[in-house]
A and B are shown apart, each in its own frame.
Chain A
Amino acid sequence: QKEVEQNSGPLSVPEGAIASLNCTYSDRGSQSFFWYRQYSGKSPELIMFIYSNGDKEDGRFTAQLNKASQYVSLLIRDSQPSDSATYLCAVILYSSASKIIFGSGTRLSIRP
């Protein structure tokens, strides 16, 4: 089992709809969770971080964390073509001595 798992996609969502990206992690003791966006040929940029169970909202983005089920998700409301990118889930695993572990990313495509 991978430490951080994401569906590679591509996930295709119509413009204006909600895009839902999911990520599961293996280490139950993990405390810090991040979502990064990476456009093709560019480096990742931080979208959100979340540490506590529940939802965290920032503009059109909502991160959801469920530690009991070991998953973290990212919702993008009112999806725009500019949201088309690869989304990387990252987790600081309790067992990894503070090393951040990245998932392989989910490719999201917003169709006009």
Chain B
Amino acid sequence: GAVVSQHPSWVICKSGTSVKIECRSLDFQATTMFWYRQFPKQSLMLMATSNEGSKATYEQGVEKDKFLINHASLTLSTLTVTSAHPEDSSFYICSAAGQGEQETQYFGPGTRLLVL
């Protein structure tokens, strides 16, 4: 159980375009979903926390207008990188936590974004 999927697994786009990444919890209802970014050889960096039906809470230094998060249902959250630039190239990983299990987070496989 506790499977989280992400789509797409990788994306290459031109500078200035917007990219949408989906995160789905396949076999449980995720009351909270988290979005992380990881640059090569660096630690996970939490970008934002989202709860179903409410606005996301962004970490300090993360631009909410650039990284749009929508958590429309208990099984789906989306991250849209708007007007992507080469410095946004990174590994984006979502995780989901359901009720119970004391907030254990299960990670999706990640989306590798390359902005040319």
Contacts and interface: CB of A to CB of B under 8 A. Distances in A.
A31 interface: yes
If over half of B's interface residues share one DSSP class (helix, strand or loop), that class is named, otherwise mixed; here it is mixed
Residue among A36, A43, A45, A92 with most chain B CB within 10 A: A43
A32 B105 CA distance: 11
Nearest to B46: A99
A86 to B, nearest CB: 9
B103 A42 contact: no
Contacts of B107: 36, 43-46
Nearest to B93: A43
Interface string A33-47: 010100001111110
Interface stretch (A16-24, A56-64, A71-79, A100-108): A100-108
Contacts of A42: 109-110
A93 to B, nearest CB: 12
Interface string B73-107: 00000000000000000010100000001111111
A100 B109 contact: no
A45 B109 CA distance: 9
B60 interface: no
Q: How large is the interface on B (under 10, 10 to 19, 20 to 34, 35 or more residues)?
A: 10 to 19
A96 to B, nearest CB: 11
B108 A43 contact: yes
Counting chain B CB atoms within 10 Å of each CB, which of A36, A44, A90, A92 scores highest? A44
Contact of A34 (B2, B46, B93, B104): B104
Most chain A CB within a 10 A radius of its CB, from B46, B91, B101, B103: B103
B102 A49 contact: yes
A53 to B, nearest CB: 15
A23 to B, nearest CB: 13
A98 B103 contact: yes
Contacts of B103: 32, 92, 98, 100
Given A32-B103, A99-B49, A105 B108 contact: no
A100 B43 contact: no
A41 to B, nearest CB: 8
What 3 A-B pairs come out closest when comparing CB atoms? A43-B110, A104-B43, A43-B107
